[in-house]
Amino acid sequence: MLLALVGSCNSFISSTTFVASQSRRNASTSYLSMSAKDFPDLRVMVNGMPGPMATAAAEACLRRGIKLAPVAMTGPDVSPQTITVVDEDTGNSASVKLIPASREEELDWAVAGLKAGVGAFNLVAIDYTHPSAVNSNGEWYVSNAVPFVMGTTGGDREKLIDHCNDAGHFCVIAPNMGKQIVAMQKALEDLATQYPDSFGGYQLSVVESHQKTKADTSGTAKAVVQSLITLSGDDTFDVESDIEMIRNDEESIKFGVAEEHLKGHAFHTYTLRSPDKSVEFVLKHNVSGRRIYAEGTVDGVLYLAKKMKTEKVGKVYNMINVLEEGAM
Amino acid sequence: MLLALVGSCNSFISSTTFVASQSRRNASTSYLSMSAKDFPDLRVMVNGMPGPMATAAAEACLRRGIKLAPVAMTGPDVSPQTITVVDEDTGNSASVKLIPASREEELDWAVAGLKAGVGAFNLVAIDYTHPSAVNSNGEWYVSNAVPFVMGTTGGDREKLIDHCNDAGHFCVIAPNMGKQIVAMQKALEDLATQYPDSFGGYQLSVVESHQKTKADTSGTAKAVVQSLITLSGDDTFDVESDIEMIRNDEESIKFGVAEEHLKGHAFHTYTLRSPDKSVEFVLKHNVSGRRIYAEGTVDGVLYLAKKMKTEKVGKVYNMINVLEEGAM
């Protein structure tokens, strides 16, 4: 268990949130045109460092000029330590003291102190921790009135979402923070809904390559394939067995993966071919490393920071909401 | 000039159309689930043979079990002749007498005779003739109350469409009959409308290959690129000069075109790449030969045959309408 605290200062913070947000319902700019300067007092508590995804998210914050909170949560078995996060593109850096999740009281007071320093509405958490911590962390954020963007997968998702919605808590929860991937998935879903069978008779083939350590088939590939099956009417395609998986360095390199990304990549190629093979549609989305997810996470943070100014009561948002807001 | 006739039997046919169609407003099945057996008396007059696109459309009709009208229009300078159209997949064949467009009276009486034989509502024309004939042919179809599917490009499009709409004439007019291509274009347009800038900062590159005889840039590529520019916000991309065109056999083969399709193909590759090059989206649509357009044309014919049963007054439909109907 990581965290399940009820901070002693919660009731004070919650009532302040309510009053203050009423005077803030005037922002109308899209979060996409916003930058750190629109939220000069914002501090982001990036939980899950020194894990690679949390670290990438922290670097992405620095790259966009967003300040990190000087303390954050780390795994219960990680030694307390202070790390320096550096974004190599901009040279921006920050020191962050990592407090193990097992030291609950210390974390609780750290958050209270942060809020006292920057204002209760200027603290947002990013969560890339562990599937086993998803629900307890969600409860902790709600108890401590810390809005959060959670890219951690696993846990009891329904319980997590219900808990946050019931509390009117501001958060973005999404298993895939890659905004462009989510947009592409949505476009294919919409196409399949609008024009099912428009690729009737076309044959589908799918190849995906991931790092060798990933045992299961890509969840994104499965979701995309559902849309392609609706478009082609090819219901003989088995999502579980007909997606070709590459989990072999040599094959991955042949598939276009750079050697330095063998340990972290997500390459997908979908092909729809007409019965006589005279027509071929190919879609590829190839991701090397973690930056696309880290950038999408920061979009989530800015989206949330804006929502906290315009909405009176929070709720669970997802990446489609973040995308839609970008269009306003 | 090809044709600009006013048949002497028009007023009779038009009023019959109006009365008869009132008792037919009961069909509800999608045209996609329809086949020749739903329209046993349908005859398709394929105008523009022995040109390759008209011939491909005639073959596609036979492949779907749809009967050809035994007469059709050919170019004004082509010798009158009887040809045999054969679909190699099914072995279905038909003899068609080609009447030059210059023999106006003969064509006029042929159409009247066909209608007398199969019924005024069972004749639909397909038009793959010549840009210079677009408007005169449109007028001739309206005058002779022949619903039509026109894939011929060029001419005064606005005049053509207005004329047919004003007459309440049943027709499908589309510069690109490739249903799947149109669906894909629509999906990208919708994505760009819903989530502009969701690929903000991504760099766009486009390569297209066509037969050497095609001088201008692919119109489809230009349309798709407009959506991709909206998605990426990359307004430095110049639609006229930044699309890489391949018009060279050797290069086309390297691009994946089979040797037998060097004289007729449309290959397109669009790439969106993130600023740090860690993410790449690739979309390809590669068409060899004419079958996709021929098949879409037949979809248009069946769509029109259905509309003539369900709608009292005709109008100009396009391939998006045909796609939408497929979803019903």
pLDDT of residue A34: 65
| CA pair distance A61, B164, nearest whole angstrom | 58
Task: Indicate whether A281 and A298 sit together in one domain.
Answer: no
The answer to whether A124 and A148 are in contact (CB under 8 A) is yes
- CA neighbor of A148 nearest in space, from A169, A166, A175, A162: A169
Q: Are residue B30 and residue B133 in the same domain, yes or no?
A: yes
In this predicted structure, what is the pLDDT of residue B33?
60
Same structural domain, A286 and A204:
yes
Name every residue whose Cβ is closer than 8 Å to that of residue A312 and which is 6 or more positions away in sequence. Answer: A18, A21, A22, A25
B204: helix, strand or coil: strand
Check pLDDT > 80 for residue A38.
yes
Percent of residues in chain B assigned helix, strand, coil, to nearest 5:
40, 20, 35
pLDDT of residue B8: 33
Residues of B in contact with A60 (CB under 8 A): none
Q: Which chain A residue shows the shortest CA-CA distance from B269?
A: A282
Cis peptide before A100 (omega within 30 of 0): no
Half-sphere exposure for A212 (CA within 13 Å, toward CB): 8
Q: Indicate the DSSP class of residue B179.
A: H
Tens digit of each residue's pLDDT (9 = 90 or more) over A215-271: 888 888 998 999 999 999 988 999 989 999 999 999 999 999 999 999 999 999 999
Q: Which positions in chain B touch A284 (Cβ < 8 Å)?
A: 280-283
Cross-chain residue pair A198–B191, CB shorter than 8 Å = no
Tokens read off for B283: 């979309």
pLDDT above 90 for B258: yes
Asked if B188 and A321 touch (Cβ cutoff 8 Å), the reply is: no
Partner residue facing A190 (CB), from B190, B199, B291 = B190
pLDDT one-digit tens code per residue, B87-128: 999 999 999 999 999 998 999 999 999 999 998 889 999 999
As a whole number of angstroms, the distance between CA B246 and CA B209 comes to 4
Cis amide linkage into residue B50, ω under 30° from 0: yes
Nearest Cα neighbor of A150 from A122, A168, A183, A176 is: A176
Over 50: is that where the pLDDT of B2 sits? no
Report whether B44 contacts B70 (CB < 8 A).
no
Most B CBs within 10 A among A87, A194, A260, hence the mutation to make, goes to A194
Compute the nearest-CA separation of A117 from chain B (Å). Answer: 34
Gyration radius from chain A CA atoms: 21
Instruction: Based on the fold, state whether residues B284 and B184 are members of the same structural domain.
Output: yes
pLDDT at B187 over 50: yes
Query: Does B283 touch chain A if contact means CB atoms closer than 8 Å?
Result: yes
- Residue of B32, B278, B292, B299 to mutate for A, most A C-beta atoms under 10 A: B278
d(CA A274, CA B142): 35
* B203 shares its domain with B318: no
Residue A275 belongs to domain with CATH number: 3.30.360.10
Question: From CA A218, how far away is CA A210, in angstroms rounded?
Answer: 8
Residues A234 and A315 in one domain: no
CB B243 within 8 A of CB B222: yes
Chain A residues touching residue B279 (CB < 8 angstroms): 178, 180, 285-288, 291-292
pLDDT tens-digit map of A75-123: 999 999 999 999 999 999 999 999 999 998 999 999 999 999 998 889 9
- Whether A323 and B188 lie within 8 Å, measured CB to CB: no
Q: Which pLDDT band holds residue A327 (cuts at 50, 70, 90)?
A: low
Phi, psi of B99 (to 5 degrees): -110, 125
Query: What is chain A's length?
Result: 328
Residue with tokens 């850096």: A93
Average pLDDT for B221-250 = 94
Predicted confidence (pLDDT) per residue in A158-210, tens digit: 999 999 999 999 999 998 899 999 999 999 999 999 999 899 999 999 999 99
Tell me if A197 and B287 make a contact (CB, 8 A cut-off).
no
Tell whether B199 lies on the interface with A, counting CB pairs under 8 A. Answer: yes
Smallest CA–CA distance, residue A134 to chain B, in Å, is 28
Distances, alpha carbon B63 to alpha carbons A301, B87, B103, B291, B295, in Å = 56, 6, 30, 11, 9
Give pLDDT tens digits for B33-71: 666 788 889 999 999 999 999 999 999 999 999 999 999
> Are B170 and B182 in a shared domain?
no
Q: Kindly report, residue by residue over B153-183, the tens digit of the pLDDT.
A: 889 999 999 999 999 999 999 988 999 999 9
Q: Is B319 on the interface with A (CB under 8 A)?
A: no
A163 and A264 inside one domain: no
Q: CA-nearest residue of chain A to B274?
A: A292
A286 and chain B in contact, CB less than 8 A = yes
B200 Cβ under 8 Å from any chain A Cβ: yes
Place of tokens 């939980």: A47
Count of domains observed in chain B: 2
Task: Please indicate if any CB of chain B lies within 8 Å of the CB of A179.
Answer: yes
How close A278 gets to chain B, by Cα (Å)?
Answer: 5
Under an 8 A CB cutoff, do A198 and B323 touch?
yes
Q: Using a CB-CB distance cutoff of 8 angstroms, which residues of chain B are in contact with residue A323?
A: 194-195, 198
Number of other CB atoms surrounding residue B216 within 10 Å:
9
Distance from CA of B290 to the nearest CA of A (A): 8
- Is residue B241 less than 8 Å (CB to CB) from chain A? no
Q: Do B324 and A195 touch (CB under 8 A)?
A: yes
Chain B positions touching A302 (Cβ under 8 A) are: none
Residue B214 annotated to the active site: yes
Chain B positions touching A279 (Cβ under 8 A) are 178, 180, 285-288, 291-292
Rounded to whole angstroms, the Cα distance separating B127 from B146 reads 11
What pLDDT was estimated at residue B216?
A: 86
> Cβ separation of A194 and B324 shorter than 8 Å?
yes
In the residue annotation, B268 being an active-site residue is answered as no
**What's A139's domain CATH number?**
3.40.50.720
SS3 content of chain A, % helix, strand, coil (to 5): 40, 20, 40
Q: What pLDDT, in 10s, does the model give residues A271-315?
A: 999 999 999 999 999 999 999 999 999 999 999 999 999 999 999
Q: Which of A183, A196, A198 sits opposite B179 (nearest CB)?
A: A198
Please tell me whether residues B136 and B247 are part of one structural domain: no
DSSP state of B120: T
- The answer on A266 and A188 residing in a single domain is yes
Q: From the candidates B214, B222, B261, B309, which is the catalytic residue?
A: B214
Identify from B88, B180, B185 which residue to disrupt to test chain A contact, counting A C-beta atoms within 10 A and taking the largest count. Answer: B180
Quick one: B140 exposed, middle or buried, by C-beta within 10 A (0-12, 13-18, 19+)? buried
How many residues are recorded in chain B? 328
Contact (Cβ atoms closer than 8 angstroms) between residue A189 and residue A228: no
The domain of A152 spans 24-177+292-324
Probe site for chain B from A180, A205, A299 (most B CB atoms < 10 A): A180
Give chain B positions within 8 Å (CB) of A180: 198-199, 202, 272, 279, 281
* pLDDT attached to residue B5: 32
Q: Is B278 close to A291, i.e. CB distance below 8 A?
A: yes
**Could you tell me if B66 and B169 lie in one domain?**
yes
**Within an 8 Å CB–CB cutoff, is residue B238 touching chain A?**
no
User: Do residue B220 and residue B140 come from a single domain?
Assistant: no
